Chain A
Amino acid sequence: MANQKAFYFDASSCIGCKACQNACKDKYDLPLGVRWRRVFEYGGGNWLFIDGVESPNNVFKYFVSTACQHCANPVCRDVCPAAAITKRADGIVLIDPEKCIGCRYCQWACPYGAPQFNEETKVMTKCTFCADLQDQGLKPACVDACVMRCLDIGDYDELRNRYGSVADIEPLPTGNITHPSLVITPHKHAEPSGQGTGSILSLPEEV
């Protein structure tokens, strides 16, 4: 899609510090349980017993920082009965809290878990791509907070030309459903979506 803003994430250098997650929570003063950006720890592999001693064999883990993917095919927008979700000309997908009826249907439809219910305002909320900052030419809070410089934004096509077309590594879902505006540099142990041998290691309360 022409003129689509997108996230870039370098999974090969993310250390899982969650500075992005906290910067987002801080900027938007998100209540308990609402996390527009989340950092997943994914790992797997087996240990070998050699002479009665456990030795690491192919044990691996890596981190995936993820938010709303501002998809080319935003299923949340399509299913919303109140027409409260729109996609701007620059590709940013936004929920209008004035129009939302809080039915949480978008929560079922989105495989990225991006739309989340705010118990205080009683409507759905999600990553706004810091549209307010981007409109001033600035970068989103999560990107600026990343100490490893592994999070960035850019034009979707340009990011793909520079970094390739990977968008679906575990634990993210396959991109076939929503066509996420996401470009990933995979970790060397990254497993393709749907074919993972590992599991999410993060505590459920963390993500």
Chain B
Amino acid sequence: MNARDWALITFTILVQMSVGSIWVLGVAHFFAARKYGNEEADRLSDRALLALVPVIVLAFIASLLHLGNPFNAYRAVTNLGSSWLSREIFFGVIFAVLAFVFAFLQWRKFGPFVLRNVIAWLAALDGLVLVFSMSHIYMLPAEPAWNTWATPVSFFATTFLLGALAMGVAFVANYAYLQRKQADCAEAQCTLMREAMRWIAVAAVLLVGMELVVLPMYLVTVAGGSAAGLASVKLMAGTYGWVLALRVLLAFIGAGVFAMFLYRNAMSEGHEKMLGSLTYAAFIVVLVAEVLGRVLFYASHVRIGI
């Protein structure tokens, strides 16, 4: 692990979290608006949306840190025809611009609702293409530990898992803020927050379940594929075995155990404080788990050849 690897870990994790967040926000806003109208839905999601802006900015600053010559960074989109890295940067910049424009318009309530909706959809769809491109960067024939279907699957799992829990944190923080501002406002918001948290808990349990099913299949496939693949698995299970163990344990605790409690506490009113603490805990534990997973991803790849 060196500074460059940490730059890539930061960039990929934050970008994926942002893409997942846009989707979670969109779904939450859609169902919230159906139940309580656009105004209440906006109050649920607007601050969460604004919080994404610094996250995306941070992600792109991190991405520059892994370059030897960042002054040439603008050239990174000049090989769209054959380089997935070019495509990633291309769709990444589009995602950032759309997300910023949408966040600004939504914050200021500029422009018609339909226009804002269209921009949000474009950002969300572009985000999927972005994560897809990102995963294909690593699918190189010379890198057997990366060149499997598990790369896109795990990237998308990280996307929605961190997106869901990050927005969970944003929702409970937003609710606490609203309550502090005016204690009686929170009737509809309380219901919306609790319902969002219930679905976020369900999503977390399903996604971490998927991760835990994919992991052994992935290890077996890579170990049996080639000598370099076997060397990678030996690194993952041997030298970095403790990282792998900790990653699995934390994912299970955060998105499994904590999410179960989250679901139960979100069932009825009166547990908002507990709900908040649980959400923060689940997010932090899962974030650490996903970062460890990504550390493993960069630390254990063994290229074939010399």
Contact = CB atoms under 8 A, between A and B. Distances in A.
Co-complex (A, B): yes
Interface of A: 38, 40, 66, 75, 78-84, 99-105, 108-113, 117, 122-124, 171-174, 177, 194, 200, 207
The residue in A78, A82, A174, A177 that gathers the most chain B C-beta atoms within 10 A of its C-beta is: A82
B140 A103 contact: no
23 contacts: A38-B306, A75-B141, A79-B83, A79-B84, A82-B72, A82-B75, A83-B75, A101-B73, A101-B75, A102-B69, A103-B76, A104-B4, A105-B85, A108-B140, A109-B140, A111-B142, A111-B303, A111-B306, A112-B306, A113-B306, A117-B68, A173-B305, A207-B306
The residue in B69, B76, B79, B306 that gathers the most chain A C-beta atoms within 10 A of its C-beta is: B306
A196 B68 CA distance: 36
Contacts of A40: 306
The residue in A81, A109, A110 that gathers the most chain B C-beta atoms within 10 A of its C-beta is: A81
B75 A177 contact: no
Contacts of B70: 101
B40 interface: no
Contacts, number: 104
B51 to A, nearest CB: 29
Contact of B68 (A103, A108, A112, A173): A103
Contacts of B141: 75, 111, 177
B143 interface: yes
A13 B57 CA distance: 57
A83 B142 contact: no
Interface of B: 4, 66-70, 72-73, 75-79, 82-86, 89, 137-138, 140-143, 226-227, 301, 303-306
A110 B306 CA distance: 9
A117 B85 CA distance: 18
7 smallest beta-carbon distances between A and B, as pairs: A102-B68, A173-B305, A111-B305, A122-B68, A82-B75, A81-B85, A111-B142
Given A108-B303, A111-B306, 10 more contacts: A75-B141, A75-B142, A82-B75, A82-B78, A101-B67, A104-B68, A105-B83, A105-B85, A111-B304, A112-B305
B304 A81 contact: no
B68 A80 contact: no
A111 B141 CA distance: 9
A200 B228 CA distance: 14
A119 to B, nearest CB: 9
Given A111-B142, A177-B141, A123 B75 contact: no
Contacts of B78: 81-83
A30 B86 CA distance: 29
Contact of B142 (A82, A99, A103, A109): A109
Given A66-B306, A108-B303, A172-B305, A75 B140 contact: yes
Contacts of A200: 306
A100 B140 contact: no
